[in-house]
Amino acid sequence: MADAKNNNIKFIDFCAGIGGGRIGLENLGMRCVGFSEIDRSSTKTYREFFGEEEKNHGDLMKVNFDDLPDFDLMIAGFPCQTFSVIGKRTGMQDRRGQIIFGLIDIMKAKKLKYFILENVKGLLNHGTGESMKIILDALDEAGYKVFWKLVTSLDYGVPQMRERIYFVGIRKDLVENDTPFNFPQPIKKPELKNYLVDTGELEFDEKKRAYETFLKYLDNKYNKGKFSVEKLLKEEFLVIDTRQSDLRLYRGMVPTLRTGRHGILYVRDGKFRRLSGYESLLLQGFPENLSKKVKGKIADVYLLSQAGNAMTVNAVEAFGKSFLDFVNKQI
C-alpha cells in the first residue's frame, strides 16, 4: 500500500480518447505507462499532447494481457454512446456496451489494485437500471469494492454542465477497515469569460452563409417570434445552443460538449462567435500549454468531437484525490 502513500502509482489509460483522464491523474503524481485507443484522429491528438514514449495497446478487446506492462490502476471512460440519452440506448446489446467486460477481464488477469471509470448519466436508468446492476455485480464478483456517484463537471472547476457517473474501485483485499469514501466536494465555478478566449476568425455576420442559416433557424416553428438577433447580441458571453430544433440559452456556463452535432455559439464584443476546438479543450480542463499545441494544427471539427468525448480533467483529478485519501487511510 506504500505506492499510494507516495503517489507512485502506475496506470494505463484505456479508452484514452485524447487523455483527459491521464492529465487528471498525472496532476496528482501518478505515472502513465501506456494507453489504449483505436480512433486514429484521437490518437494523433494524444501523441501531440504526450509524445511517442508510451505504447498504444490498441483495441483492448483484442489485447494480449502478457503484453501489458505492470501497472496498479486503470483509468477508462468506457464508451457511452450505447447508454446515452442522445444515442440509441442499445446498451449491452451493442458491442461497445460490452467493453466494460473487456476492462474487467484485464483487471482480473493483471490482478489490478485500483480503477477509476466514467460513464454517462443515462447508464443509471438504461434497461430500468438493469445495465447498472449488471456492471456493479460484475465488478463485485471480480473482487472490487466499488464507490460511485453521479456528478457534474460544473462542481469541479470548469463552467460546463456535464453530468457523468464516476466509479472508484479498490481490490477488496486492500480494504482493511470501514473508512468511508469521501467523494470530492464541489468548488466555486470559474467565470465563463476566461474560457471563451479564442482569437481566431470564428465570427459570423450577415456576410457569411452561416449567418443566413442561423436566421432561418430562428424562424423555424420552434423558435419563431421568441428571439431576435438584436436582443441576443446585447448580452455579452450569452451561450446559444443550436444543436436541437429549439434554441436554448445559457448564462455563466456551456451545455454538455458532445462528440457530434456541434453548434454552440456565444456573444462576444457584440458579435456571434462559434465555440472553437481550443475553447472546448479549455472547458474540459485541458491546460493552456497542451491546448495550444494542437490549436491550428488539428482541425476544429476533430477537436470539437474529441473534446466532447473526453473525460473532464478537473473531475478526474478530484476523484483521484479522494481515491488517494481513502487508500492512504488503509495503511
Q: Which three cell numbers stand for residue 295?
A: 490549436
The contacts of residue 86 (CB under 8 Å, 6+ apart) are 258, 261
Q: Among 17, 161, 155, which Cα is nearest to 80's?
A: 17
The reply to whether 80 belongs to the active site is yes
> In sequence order, what DSSP letters do the residues of 193-255 get, joined into one string?
GGT----SS-EE-TTSHHHHHHHHHHTSTTTTTT--HHHHHTSTT-EEE-SSSS-EEESSSB-
According to DSSP, the residues that pair with 7 across neighbouring strands are: none
Spot the catalytic one: 4, 9, 25, 80: 80
Residues in the chain: 331
| C-alpha dihedral (244, 250, 255, 257), degrees to nearest 10 | 80
- Look at residue 123 and give its three-state secondary structure: helix
Catalytic residues: 80
